[in-house]
Amino acid sequence: MKLIIQKYGGTSVGSSSRILKVAHRVKKWYQCNYDLVIVTSAMSGETNKLLSLLNEVSTNNKKWPRELDQVLSSGEQIAAGLLATCLNEIGVPSVSYAGWQVPIKTNSAHGKARIDSIDTKKIISELNKKKVVIVTGFQGVDQLGSITTLGRGGSDTSAVALAAALKARECLIYTDVDGVYTTDPRIVQEARRLSKITFEEMLEMSSLGSKILQIRAVEFAGKYKVKTRVLSSLTEFNIPIKEESTSGTLITHEEDKKMENAVISGIAFNRDEAKITITGVPDTPGVAFKILGPIAKANIDVDMIIQNSSNDGTTDFSFTVNRTELNEAIAVLNNSVRPEINASEISSDNQICKVSVVGIGMRSHVGVASQMFEVLSNEGINIKMISTSEIKISVVINDKYMELAVRALHKAFELDQK
């Protein structure tokens, strides 16, 4: 089976005329005898419209996440049905499936559900009838039969997970950019498109704020070795897909990559986080769990975690959370954590950003960290937190320096040069 998964984002299906364009693109593929499963987001603006309605009837609709998902999931259902109708209209037999109809089974974590399994029987049966199958992105169904959503950008995850389950030849993520860049071209003019990037690098790029592909999509792609290509839905068709195809950015395995011996592949950044510091924490075993247990229980995502070594029997504990969850996190700490651990002070800072250099070449090159710190120092930028992994180094700095830091690092690591 020459099976290709294609995912179209909200902008690509943002109006009936754009849906028609997508349909004609899909038709070209269909005429080349590909089997096709198309994953679609909601029409752009639709999800926000539904959120406004929810905000009008409830000041805190996140408290009823099942209903939130029930409402939000209708957006993709509409887009999928419209696209299937449009394909049928132009002579391509097509059928749409909502997540629960496939079914795409998830756990019950409404708003950030994880896919447990995908039943491919119905889809395969439709493909065998030479139909193009449209599947709603972003959503699934839990064991109770409640609709769940996968979180912002979840349609990417749907697409890659379907590609894995159906053993697709390639998963094409159509978006409004033409690939993954060394950094955001809006900030650094000299940013270059990467023709390939490894899963691991992409994982770091995604989690660090290059919002091209949802991190769980990359995880899935890596785990199940799904060949995933990010490309623009605005450019010309490129059929059939060849190994050597240079459109977009192919996310690939390290061994596949004809490396240009680059140490660093890209610079990622985000200003979505806030930093929380708890000072005067008794330096006893289990204290990290006592702090982060209640945070996890409240379903608040934590990114960086840093604990300084103690001097006087107490320690300082810092971590970052999404800015939108800062107040909730502080409330949890005051209510559930502070009485438990006797901390002297809880402070927070939401004027921060995180800047990271990412590259698989870093593994075998010493000195990347020191070079990074030197560049920042030369620009007079103070570092508030540092966190490292095998293939990335992240620093938290004052967010007013973000652009400056990204440009300086992009130049210093010669990312503007092929």
List residues binding a copy of itself (CB under 8 A): 16-17, 19-20, 23, 50, 53-54, 56-61, 63-64, 66-68, 70-71, 73-75, 77-78, 80-86, 88-89, 95-96, 98, 100-101, 122, 145-147
- Element holding 409 (H helix, E strand): helix 402-412
Given the complex with a copy of itself, which of 98 and 113 has the nearer CB atom? 98
We find the least distance from the C-beta atom of residue 19 to a copy of itself, in angstroms, to be 6
Dihedral Cα 224, 238, 158, 84, nearest 10 deg = -140
Shortest CB 78 distance to a copy of itself, Å? 5
**Total count of residues recorded for the chain:** 418
Residue with Cβ nearer a copy of itself (127 or 402): 127
Both tokens of 66, joined, read 């099942």
Amino acid at 81: G
To a copy of itself, the closest distance from the beta carbon of 93 in angstroms equals 10
> In this structure, what DSSP letter does residue 309 have?
P
> Is the bond preceding residue 240 a cis peptide, omega within 30 degrees?
yes
Nearer to a copy of itself, 87 or 217 (CB): 87
Closest approach of a copy of itself to the CB of residue 56, in Å: 3
Q: Rounded distance, CA 207 to CA 197, Å?
A: 15
Output 63 or 242, the one with its CB closest to a copy of itself: 63
Of the two residues 8 and 317, which places its CB atom closer to a copy of itself in the complex? 8
The dihedral built from the CA positions of residue 3, 175, 322 and 381, taken in this order, carries a sign that is: positive
CB 107 within 8 A of CB 114: yes
Closest CA to 92 of 133, 124, 42: 133
> Which 3 state secondary structure label does DSSP give 388?
strand
Strand-strand pairing, 170-175 and 3-8: parallel
Smallest separation (angstroms) from a copy of itself to the CB of 413: 47
Smallest distance from a copy of itself to CB 221, Å: 29
Choose between 122 and 290: whose C-beta lies nearer to a copy of itself.
122
CB contact at 8 A, 200 and 215: no
User: CB of 121: closest distance to a copy of itself in angstroms?
Assistant: 11
Spatial contact of 160 and 220, defined as CB atoms under 8 Å apart: yes
CB closer to a copy of itself out of 95 and 202:
95
Closest-CA residue to 76 (of 136, 159, 25): 136
For 61: left if phi > 0, alpha if psi spans -120 to 50, otherwise beta; the answer is alpha
Q: Please state the closest distance from residue 110 (CB atom) to a copy of itself, in A.
A: 12
Min dist. Cβ of residue 86 to a copy of itself (A): 4
Farthest CA pair distance, the chain: 75
- Closer by beta carbon to a copy of itself, 3 or else 71: 71
The sign of the dihedral angle between the CA atoms of 85, 87, 91, 95 is: negative
Q: Based on CB atoms, which residue is closest to a copy of itself, 68 or 368?
A: 68
